[in-house]
Amino acid sequence: MRAPALARIEREAGTLPWRTREAGFPGLLAAIVGQQISNLAAAAIWRRLEALMDGAPRAEALLALPEAALREAGLSRPKIAYARGLAEAVATRRIEPDAFAGMEDEAVIEAICSLKGFGRWSAEIYLLFALGRRDAFPAADLALAASAQALLGLEERPGEKRLRALAEDWAPYRGLAARLLWHHWRHLNSRPAFDS
């Protein structure tokens, strides 16, 4: 891993927090919850969902909840539809998240992307945080791009294709690079690191 710029992040921002998510349905649901909102907002919604389902979210429990309860928890109508679609796919075994651990990254991405509301970003987030895949790099993430721009002194924020190309130098540890870039971005913006 050739990463002189990444090497200085922990010196400047402090120790890298190691966030993880539960694998399976909860980790996939967390990817939906976290789409296009801050970590703080996602954590608040997640706590409300856990309370509604008496602990770790399960597909069957989510399907039993009325839409109004999910809206009150903070999910938008599209996210409710995606969450219900995910829950139905898991409950009917159309997808089997327990099998993902034994699959190659691209096969997992393809399976996850077959679900409505899940794109490559969500799949790569799942690979990184729920399966601990060391080379997963969600290059469509805007905070990663902004962090790379600041860290590398780029004139403009790189798009997904350019960021993916830049990340080639960090293989086979692009997942660690992503974590460091997010840590750098939180530091630049004086945001706390969250465990969830």
Is residue 195 over pLDDT 50?
A: no
Alpha carbon distances (Å) from 161 to 71, 107, 169, 180? 35, 21, 14, 19
> What is the CATH code of the structural domain delimited by 4-16+137-188?
1.10.1670.40
Say what the pLDDT of residue 143 is: 93
Say what the pLDDT of residue 74 is: 97
Say what the pLDDT of residue 193 is: 58
The pLDDT confidence band at residue 42, using thresholds 50, 70 and 90, is very high
pLDDT digits (tens, 9 = 90+) for 78-105: 999 999 999 999 999 999 999 999 999 9
Whole-number percent of the chain with pLDDT over 90: 86
Is residue 144 over pLDDT 60?
A: yes
Is residue 196 over pLDDT 50?
A: no
Contacts with 140 (C-beta within 8 Å, 6 or more apart), sequence order: 119, 120, 121, 160
- Within the chain, all domains assigned CATH 1.10.340.30 are found at 25-129
Contacts with 136 (C-beta within 8 Å, 6 or more apart), sequence order: 105, 124, 127, 128, 174, 175, 178
The pLDDT confidence band at residue 2, using thresholds 50, 70 and 90, is low
- Within the chain, all domains assigned CATH 1.10.1670.40 are found at 4-16+137-188
Average pLDDT, rounded, for the chain: 93
Fold classification of 25-129 is: Endonuclease III; domain 1 (1.10.340)
